[in-house]
Amino acid sequence: MASRAGDGGFDEFYRRHCKAVLAFHGARVRDPELAADLTAETFAVALIAARDPARQLPDTPVAWLFTLAHHKFIDSYRRGRVEDDARRRLAFERMEVTDDAAERLVDAIAATDVVAHLSLRLPPDQVQALRARIIDDREYSDIAHELQCSEALVRVRVSRALNTLRTTALQAQPEAHDG
């Protein structure tokens, strides 16, 4: 992600992760328009953070983005609606989704595997632990029981996965931590 808006880094960050965030939401809400709203609000919050010179940007932008997505989903579930505070703050109008656009969203959601997106950067054992903990929001004890290993080992795998994502993000976008 760009350290501050305006240098094109956020655009690249968005292009790189938009389909994965859309698929993340789509798998949970099963409604393409709602998934698109949640995705838009997730990236709007991220853009606000990128534009704020007083705010330190995350060390692990991909993990942070999926954490934002998870929180947006939970908040919308609790409130029974998708918040649009960040989009309104940025003066982004809500787009009406046509039937054709909804069909394309369904196709994009079905074609994008969040785990596959992450597994391009991670070994299988780390993908499995990260998926269970971050994407499926499961407890370490449950994951350890399923994988027949200790909670400590699951924590190590998740930590290593996040570290690998952080390192990959830093190598791909060194400007992400300027200034």
How do residues 16-55 score in pLDDT, each as one tens digit?
A: 888 888 888 888 887 788 888 898 889 988 888 888 888 8
In a domain, 13, yes or no: yes
In a domain, 169, yes or no: yes
How far is the C-alpha of 148 from the C-alpha of 141, rounded, in Å? 10
Q: How sure is the predictor about 3, in pLDDT bands with cuts at 50, 70 and 90?
A: very low
User: pLDDT tens, 73-115?
Assistant: 888 877 776 776 765 666 666 666 666 666 666 666 665 566 6
Count how many Cα atoms sit within 13 Å of the Cα of residue 101 in the half-sphere of its side chain.
9
In a domain, 2, yes or no: no
- Long-range contacts at 13-22 (CB < 8 A, ≥ 24 apart): 13/46, 13/61, 13/65, 13/173, 14/43, 17/62, 17/65, 17/117, 18/43, 19/108, 19/111, 19/112, 19/117, 20/112, 20/114, 20/117, 20/118, 21/65, 21/66, 21/69, 22/105, 22/108, 22/109, 22/112
What is the reported pLDDT for 90?
64
Q: Is residue 2 over pLDDT 50?
A: no
| 3-state DSSP assignment of residue 88 | helix
In a domain, 4, yes or no: no
State how many domains the chain has. Answer: 1
How far is the C-alpha of 106 from the C-alpha of 44, rounded, in Å? 21
In a domain, 3, yes or no: no
Q: Is residue 14 over pLDDT 70?
A: yes
In a domain, 1, yes or no: no
Which is more confident, 104 or 124?
124
C-alpha distances out from residue 3 to 54, 58, 163, 172, Å: 11, 10, 19, 13
- Region 107-128: what's the mean pLDDT? 71
What is the reported pLDDT for 97?
62
In a domain, 43, yes or no: yes
In a domain, 125, yes or no: yes
Range of the domain at 88: 9-177
Computed over every residue of the chain, the mean pLDDT equals 75
Which is more confident, 120 or 173?
120
What is the reported pLDDT for 19?
85
What is the reported pLDDT for 70?
85
Q: How sure is the predictor about 145, in pLDDT bands with cuts at 50, 70 and 90?
A: very high
What is the reported pLDDT for 177?
33
Q: How sure is the predictor about 174, in pLDDT bands with cuts at 50, 70 and 90?
A: very low
